[in-house]
Every structure is written in structure tokens, then in C-alpha cells.
Amino acid sequence: MAAIGRLSLTALDCPDPRALAEFYGAITGWPVGYDDGEWVRLASDTGATLAFQLAPGHQPPAWPSDERPQQAHLDFDVPDLDAAEAQVLALGATKAETQPGTTFRVFLDPAGHPFCLVLIRD
């Protein structure tokens, strides 16, 4: 099947686009490539990237819950869960109370979006 388009980015609504871009930039190693105050995009070295859009009334998801479902989340492959956990917590992430697996861990970014660190399996 021929592609209709190519994924260019995933955008997350948040109350502070620059702060959230810096958080995910620290995880990925990607610098900020564009910032107009309301839209901040990381400069990815792998093609698709992440962007952050100002949403002053943003209400973070309540994970796991149907009241305000997560709707989407990001996964980051890591070689060491404990080391990666310490690093994202130092950046301002919060570890989610519910941890449904043993090969991945769920966190909330500073704006409340869930994301996972996933252990790379050889």
C-alpha cells in the first residue's frame, strides 16, 4: 500500500511549551529548533520530532482513568530502567502510582502527560 503521508511530528498541548520542550529535549538529546512562544518544536536527528503547543486551559490526563483518558503517550527505549528513571525524575517527571508492568515504567511529564521508559530487550 502506498503511503499517503509521512509522520513529521507529534504535538502535545501544554501550559508552558518551552518548559515541556526542554524536558523532552533533555530526554531525547534534541535541541529546540523553533520557538514562537506558543509553538515549540524540537530538532530531531531521526526524522519525526516532537512539538509543544500552548493550551492555557490544559487539563492533564488522569492515568489510568476514563475520567480524563491519556489519549496518547510516548515510549522511550532505554538500556537501564533504574538509571533512566533517576534521570527523568531529576528533570521534573513524576512516577505514576500505577505501574502495570515490569519491563516498562510509567511517568508523568511536568504538564501531566503520561510517558513510558521501556527496557530494551536484546
pLDDT digits (tens, 9 = 90+) for 78-119: 999 999 999 999 999 999 999 988 999 999 999 999 999 999
Dig out the grid coordinates for 94 from the structure: 513524576
Inform me whether the pLDDT recorded for 122 exceeds 70: no
The phi and psi torsions of 28 (rounded to 5 degrees) equal: -90, -20
Helices (H) and strands (E) counted in the chain, each on its own, are 2, 8
9-56+66-119: what CATH class?
Answer: alpha beta
- β-pairing verdict for 39-42 and 104-108: unpaired
Cα gap 41→2, rounded to integer Å: 28
Question: What percent of the chain is modeled with pLDDT above 90?
Answer: 70
Buried-state track 90-108, b at ≥16 Cβ within 10 A, e below 16:
ebebeebeeeeeeebbbbb
User: Measuring CA to CA, which residue among 5, 13, 6, 4 is closest to residue 71?
Assistant: 13
Q: Which pTM was predicted?
A: 0.81
At residue 72, the pLDDT reads 82
Residue pair 116/65 in contact (Cβ under 8 Å)? The answer is: no
Cα gap 45→47, rounded to integer Å: 6
Task: Quick: pLDDT tens for 63-84.
Answer: 888 888 877 888 898 999 999 9
User: Measuring CA to CA, which residue among 98, 99, 104 is closest to residue 117?
Assistant: 104
